[in-house]
Structure 1
């Protein structure tokens, strides 16, 4: 089954390639006939168009296309900025004082929990250190006696 499908695809590609080459030959023949009949330029010929490039040659500069003229955008918001003159203005107090205030608010509970755990761990470490010091001092007293 797969061999048959692959063969069909190859045959189809060969047919299309043959049709393209036949068309190309016909276009060459018609182009030769037009030149013999006195036609200097084919009707469908598209020259080089310069949209984003300014050539140095003056003849090519004449072929340059000028792009569309885009009107300037006038931002109505930028024209009239709102100035906060009145300290009692409720609109002035909408903006946060610091840009990360909401992050601090959301993380505050987690930080409190971590702070408690940290304090507890520090107390345990200090207690262990104190027990070790007492054990060392007791060992020294036993050795001295």
Structure 2
């Protein structure tokens, strides 16, 4: 299935290329009958070996050269000869391209001092890291001690209330 579609696409493309080539040849052939006859004569003469090719006279070559100069088109070159300057073609005008990235204003960034980024945010972070285990252990002991003190205080209050009521 895939191969058939690829082959069909290739055949269609070849056909389009042939049509374009034929159209190009029609555009490039001049309207003069003499110009049309000359290539046909050359092809028939090339097939026969017994006939020598015909040479054009100098006058005919000059006329052909004069016709060629008229048909010459200069897009990127300005010739010095006045006759050739008539064949100068104005260069195509390209539409102006607007880059959307450049058109948008750049976002404003807060200017920060680069030396502030070198130092850590908290100057004692390495000390805290090294001492964290000890601090955790002390925190647990502190909580236990506070709990014991609160229990003692409650026992004293309950004993005082019991003694005051009894």
Classify the TM-score, shorter chain: 0.3 to 0.5
TM-score norm. by structure 2 comes to 0.30
